[in-house]
Structures are given as structure tokens and as C-alpha cells.
Amino acid sequence: MRLALYQPDIPQNAGAMLRLGACLGVAIDIIEPCGFVLDDRRLKRVAMDYQALAEIARHESWRAYLASRDSGRLVLLSTKAALPYHRFAFAASDTLLLGRESAGVPPEVAARADASLRIPLAPSARSLNVALAAALVLGEALRQTGLLPNEER
């Protein structure tokens, strides 16, 4: 299971997702260009020392990311999707793709997704914060696939 961040533009959200990946044992793909430099202090403040624990792969472009992908489905989280995430059967080899906070993903990126999922929201709400959306759907995906980290201490 992986998280892929498509051209993230808010460093605090990227930092939160790096920490999420580190804590749950999920690798992160960062598809550039980003709207900030990766050593941004705002990213570091949120990621804290978990950034060093995160498995991060940087890709200079969407094309470079596609060329480096292994097998597995690309699962896009989108407010435009019809299928709710909790009705989807996740696989351990899935990559959850999250778009830019300001614009999502362009149509050519959305077209490459094997599935598109949405998070059901109250009628008056447009969307969740991208890091919260990642946590919510990743938690369900890890639960379904039995990949949640060991609870024994």
C-alpha cells in the first residue's frame, strides 16, 4: 500500500501525510513539482522527526512517476467520484492518489486511475482537508487488507 501526492501545494498537509505514512508503515510518492520546497520549515514542523522515518520516493513529474510504478491499482480520491470509499474492496498493492489541495488532478491524471473514490460528506460540505481524507481512506484500506500495524507493544 502506498500514498501518492500529486503536486502538493500546502507544506503542512504534505508534512501531515509524511507523518501518517511513517506511523502506519506506508510509503509515500511525491509527484513534483510541489508548490513549496521539500525542506520547507512548515513541512518539517508538522512532520517532526517522523519525516526521517518515512519511506519517501520523489518523482520529478507525472511521466516519471508512471515510468517508476510497480504493479497495483492506482486509486484516486476525488470529490467528483461516484463510488464511496467504504464500498470499495482495497488490495494490499493499491496506491491511493491524492490531488493538489487547490485543484485536484487534471483530467489526464484522473483518466489513468483504475478506480476513483469519494468520501461521503454532509450536503453543505465541499471537501475534507487532503491530509484528513488520506488518513480516513488509508485507515479503511489498511483495515480491509490486514495491513494495520501490529497493536501489540
Q: Looking at the domain that runs over 2-145, which CATH code has it been given?
A: 3.40.1280.10
Q: The pTM is what?
A: 0.91
Q: What is the pLDDT of residue 49?
A: 66
Dihedral sign computed on CA atoms, order 3, 133, 89, 109:
negative
Q: Given pLDDT bands bounded at 50, 70 and 90, which one contains residue 31?
A: very high
pLDDT digits (tens, 9 = 90+) for 2-25: 999 999 988 888 888 988 999 999
Element (H, E) at 145: helix 130-145
d(CA 76, CA 105): 9
What are the extents of the domains in the chain?
2-145
Cβ-based burial of 73 (10 A; exposed 0-12, middle 13-18, buried ≥19): middle
Amino acid symbol at 141: A
Cell numbers 497493536 correspond to: 151
| 7 DSSP 8-state letter | S
